[in-house]
Every structure is written in structure tokens, then in C-alpha cells.
Structure 1
Amino acid sequence: MSLSPWLKSPFTDLTGSLVNHQWYGVCANLELKVLDCLEAYGLDRGLKKCHLLIEDFRECSLRTKQFKRMKAMRNERHRQYFNGERTKEKKYAKAPTYDSY
């Protein structure tokens, strides 16, 4: 996780602020906490001191645990279907009605 680009130019100054999570709202607070922590300790010490915040921010933005959980549930559902524990009609849960939410 680098805060400054490898090659600095006016183009990187103009486009550097386009890639952030402040517009989405879900990870905005975590991103600010990580950047404040890295600013307080510097990049070298901050990577060690702010490790837990950085990991939380990565999980919030990439959602790796959520996708692993979803994949495990899908694999279990397919295993049950291929072993005959689920029928074709009940392979997936019934979808909610169109106007339910």
C-alpha cells in the first residue's frame, strides 16, 4: 500500500484523488482512519503500527471473507444436491416476491 506514485507528474496529481472510497460511504471512515494513522506514523512505521486498521480496510473494500463464505455455502448446496439430499426444486431458496422490499 503506497501513498505516493512511483513516477510523479502533473497527470498523477490530477488523477490521484479519483481512486478512493469516500464516495461509496461503506468504507469511507475506515479509509480516513488508515490514512490518519499512516500520516501520524509515516509510511514505514505506519505499516507496522496500523496493520490492524489496514487489514480491516482491505476486508471492507475487497470483501474476501464474505466471498469465501458465499462460495462455501454454494459448494455445500451443490454437494447436497449431488448427494440427493436436495431436490431440483429446492436446490435454491425461494426468491422473495417482487414487491417485498
Structure 2
Amino acid sequence: MSVSPWLKSPFTDLTAGLISHQWYGECADMEMKVLECFEAYGLDKGLKKCDLLIQDFRECSLRHKQMKRMVAMRNERHRQAWNGERSKEEKYAKGPAPDSY
């Protein structure tokens, strides 16, 4: 995770915001905390001192745990349908009625 680009030019200044979460992202606050931590400790020490913040930010942006949970629930539903504990028609819960939002 690098804080500044290897080659600095006006083009990198213009495109720097495209790879951040600051444009209406729900992880914007976490990203700012990580960057402030890096600013306080520097990049080398910051990788060690800010490790928990970095892990939280990665989870917020990549959602590994959420995807593993979703796959586990889907696999459990498939297992139940395969073993006959749940009917194949009712494998998933019914969706909301039309115009119920």
C-alpha cells in the first residue's frame, strides 16, 4: 500500500482521486484514518503501527468475510435442499410482494 506515486506528474494529480474511496464511499472515513496514521508514522513504521487500521480498511473495501459468510449460507441452503430438509421450491425465502417498497 503506497501513499504517494512512484512518478509524480500533473496526470497523477488529476487521476489520484479515481483510486480512492473518498467519492461517496462508505469506507472513506477508514481510508482517511489509515492515511493519517501513515502521515504520522511514515510508510515503513506505519505498516507495523497501523496494521489493525489497514486490516479494517481492507475488510471494508474488499468484503472478504462478508463473501465467505454469504457462500457458507448458500452452501448450507443447497445442502439442506439436497438432503430433503428443505423443499427445492422453498430453497430461498420468498421475495417481497410487488410494490411493497
CA distance in 2 between partners of 1:24 and 1:14 (Å)? 18
What is the RMSD computed on CA atoms of the aligned residues?
A: 1.3
Q: Following superposition of structure 1 onto structure 2, how do residues 45-84 of structure 1 map, counting pairs within 5 Å? A: 45-84=45-84
Identity value in percent: 76
Distance 1:53 1:17 in 2: 21
Structure 1: state its 5+ residue gaps.
Answer: none
SS across alignment from 1:37: helix
| Structure 2 match to 1:29 | 29
TM-score (norm 2): 0.91
Aligned-residue offset at 1:3: 1.3
| Structure that is richer in helix per residue | 2
**How many residues are treated as equivalent by the alignment?**
101
Distance 1:60 1:82 in 2: 34
Q: TM-score, normalised by structure 1?
A: 0.91
Residues of 1 paired with 2:74 and 2:51: CA distance? Answer: 32
Q: Deviations over 1:3-53 (max 9, x none)?
A: 122333332232122211112231111111111011000000001000000
Runs of at least 4 residues off by over 4 Å: none
Deviation at 1:84, TM superposition (A): 1.2
Q: CA deviation at 1:69?
A: 0.2
Indicate whether 1:38 and 2:34 are aligned: no
